[in-house]
């Protein structure tokens, strides 16, 4: 009996020892795995944080780039990064090249960012009026510019009147009051209509259009002219980071003018287009030039091409027989098209020419591809 008990006890001790050894080994392995998982998670989180930091910098300056690798310290670890221009699937993007390190863990992240322009609601229509929008001419076309998914919308807080024939609108026609159709062969076909909404809508909510008081922007001007001013020939403006703001304490007259760069002409009184105003080196998607006035905007030349975003406190009257406008119109009063043939290609205004109205940079950084 004694020997049997001893043998049993020895067996139990051996089994306990083996079991304890296995348990300790498993605990050790689990601890190592936990440490590895923690370090990998920490490295990944550092990389994600670096992406957000770089996106914020791109939000402050969309021309921000880091072509040679730099390092930032983050929460006990480090991140080496680059911010470079690249092309992905035929699209121009910005690549965030991230290598994050925490202790022995290393994480590689490639994030591809697209800078998306966005504008305040009172500048995102092809035509927007506080009062009436009237189209009297034939062969009217309101179209997108190089972006077949973008709508070229028309809106009035009072009434839209479509009197002309052979009218095409590649967007919605909406009014907070009425839409009156007096012409024939009207085609309103939005480029984008995922909800299947009616192309022509009445009684929609009003869009608030801020009053434009030129004097509020005098202090921001880079060039000031006292009295009336006539522009013609070459008008050289600035860059996206440093647009040129021209302030005129009187009327503005445009003769044949070629505009280069980013900027604004701000007038205290009426603006008259007596000839074409064209854009040299235009952006294919965005309007780089703005004309803002506390007075009226008038176009009287028979054949006129205008590349600009127009914003006025008083009425806009376009009497050109053959008009081509690349940009958009916002007015606190009536907008009237009287020409025989008119084509309006809507272009969103680039942020340098909206910032002076809003004080807000309407840019969004959108991640379109992500690889780890």
Domain range summary for the chain, segments of one domain joined by + = 45-119+362-372, 121-353
Rounded-to-integer distance, Cα 176 and Cα 165, Å: 23
pLDDT computed for residue 22 by the predictor: 47
- Nearest one of 353, 286, 365 to 60, comparing CA atoms: 365
Separation between Cα atoms, residue 283 and residue 261, nearest integer Å? 10
129: nearest Cα among 330, 296, 293: 330
Give residue 166's region: left, alpha or beta (phi > 0; psi -120 to 50).
Answer: left
**CA proximity to 170, closest of 120, 126, 119, 116:** 126
Output the pLDDT for position 326. Answer: 93
Q: What is the C-alpha separation between 366 and 343, in angstroms, rounded?
A: 32
User: Taking the model in full, what pTM does it have?
Assistant: 0.74
One pLDDT digit (tens) per residue for the chain, 372 residues = 556 655 555 555 555 554 555 455 554 455 555 777 887 888 888 888 888 888 888 877 777 899 899 998 887 888 999 999 898 877 788 999 999 998 888 889 998 888 776 788 889 899 999 999 998 877 677 887 777 888 999 999 999 999 888 888 999 999 999 999 987 888 899 999 989 999 999 999 999 999 999 999 999 999 999 999 999 999 999 998 889 999 999 999 999 999 999 999 999 999 999 999 999 988 888 899 999 999 999 998 888 999 999 999 999 999 888 899 999 999 999 999 988 788 889 998 988 888 777 765 556 677 878 888
Q: What is the pLDDT of residue 7?
A: 58
How many angstroms separate the CA atoms of 99 and 81, rounded?
6
Which helix (H) or strand (E) segment holds residue 35: the answer is helix 2-60
- Among 140, 71, 61, smallest CA distance to 94 is for 61
């Amino acid at each position: 009996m004694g020997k049997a008990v001893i043998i049993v006890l020895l067996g139990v001790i051996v089994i306990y020892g083996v079991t304890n050894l296995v348990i300790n080994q498993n605990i050790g392995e689990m601890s190592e795995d936990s440490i590895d998982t923690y370090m990998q998670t920490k490295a990944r989180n550092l990389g994600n944080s670096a992406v957000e930091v770089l996106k914020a910098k791109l939000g402050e300056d969309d021309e921000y780039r880091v072509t040679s690798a730099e390092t930032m310290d983050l929460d006990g670890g480090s991140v080496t990064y680059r911010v470079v221009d690249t092309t992905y699937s035929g699209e121009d993007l910005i690549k965030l090249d991230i290598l994050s390190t925490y202790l022995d863990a290393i994480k590689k992240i490639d994030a591809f960012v697209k800078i998306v322009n966005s504008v305040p609601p009172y500048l995102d229509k092809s035509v927007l009026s506080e009062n009436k929008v009237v189209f009297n001419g034939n062969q009217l076309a309101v179209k997108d510019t190089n972006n077949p998914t973008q709508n070229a919308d028309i809106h009035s807080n009072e009434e839209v009147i479509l009197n002309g024939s052979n009218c095409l609108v590649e967007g919605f026609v909406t009014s907070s009051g009425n839409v009156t159709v007096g012409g024939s062969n009207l085609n309103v076909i939005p480029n984008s209509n995922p909800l299947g909404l009616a192309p022509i809508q009445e009684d929609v909510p009003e869009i608030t259009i801020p009053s434009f008081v030129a004097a509020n922007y005098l202090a921001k001007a880079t060039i000031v002219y006292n009295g009336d001013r006539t522009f013609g020939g070459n008008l050289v403006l600035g860059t996206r980071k440093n647009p040129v703001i021209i302030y005129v304490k009187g009327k503005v007259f445009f003769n044949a003018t070629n505009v280069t760069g980013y900027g604004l002409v701000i007038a205290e009184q009426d603006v008259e287009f007596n000839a074409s105003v064209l854009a040299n080196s235009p952006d294919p998607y965005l309007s780089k030039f703005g004309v803002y006035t506390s007075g009226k905007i008038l176009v009287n030349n028979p054949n006129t091409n205008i590349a600009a975003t127009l914003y006025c406190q008083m009425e806009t009257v376009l009497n050109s027989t053959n008009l081509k406008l690349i940009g958009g119109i916002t007015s606190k009063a009536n907008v009237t098209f009287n020409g025989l043939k008119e084509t309006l290609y809507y272009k969103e205004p680039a942020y340098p020419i909206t910032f002076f109205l809003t004080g807000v940079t309407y840019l969004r950084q959108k991640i379109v591809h992500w690889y780890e």
